[in-house]
Structure 1
Amino acid sequence: MLVPSRLELAPAEGVLRIDWPDGRRQSLDHARLRQACRCAACRSGPAGAAVGQALDQAVRIVAVQDMGYGIQLIFNDGHDRGIYPWRYLETL
């Protein structure tokens, strides 16, 4: 399993930086990560209206929880159900 060597949350810039062990550095936009959530609520029905649509660019990650195989992201819009496996993050 590929696990990042470093995570940097940069709320003022609206990015999450991920340093991978092979030397790559990835910068992921907070709004893009919110839009990419694959939790059940985001993937189905009216509650999942955010999926595939543009989100407010002001959305920010306020906390990151290590889940071992990935991270749980908590956003300032109250959304806290998405878990982002390392392999998934690497593809974004």
Structure 2
Amino acid sequence: MSRLLCIEWDDGTESTLSHALLRARCRCAFCERAARAGEESGGGTGVVLTEAHAIADTGLNLVFSDGHRRGIYPWAYLRELGTSGGIQGDLPS
């Protein structure tokens, strides 16, 4: 298993996002609350993406092996993550 989500955009560019990065950068209310409290919301380098569901034209709902399924990743946010440099398996610092 590659542990990478690859997205090809309409303009021909590609984003390659590691599952660990996607899990670590979840912006759902649960994860945001945990981050503000200085707690880890889960994930880690061993987490894998198990499901991806399109949410109309809004983005993707991603489900991870740690049971987390609350995050909706807007297309613009996925594009931002793909151009921010924290790709190919690196966790954010």
Equivalent runs, 1:7-46 vs 2, <5 Å: 12-45=1-34
- Mark the runs of 5 or more structure 1 residues left unpaired by the alignment: 1-11
User: How many Å separate the matches in 2 of 1:81 and 1:39?
Assistant: 6
Identify if the C-alpha distance between structure 1 residues 23 and 79 changes in structure 2 by more than 3 Å, giving closer, same or farther. same
Aligned pairs for 1:1-92 (under 5 A) are 12-45=1-34, 49-50=39-40, 55-68=43-56, 69-92=58-81
State the Cα distance separating 1:20 from its structure 2 match: 0.2
Larger strand proportion of the pair: 1
| Higher RCO by CA contacts (8 Å cutoff, separation 6 or greater) | 2
Q: Percent of counterpart pairs with the same letter?
A: 42
- Runs of at least 4 residues of structure 1 off by over 3 A? 45-48
- Amino acid paired to 2:40: A
User: Separation in 1 of the partners of 2:5 and 2:38?
Assistant: 23
Uncovered stretches (5+) of structure 2, i.e. residues with no partner: 82-93
TM-score (ref. length: structure 1) = 0.78
RMSD: 2.1
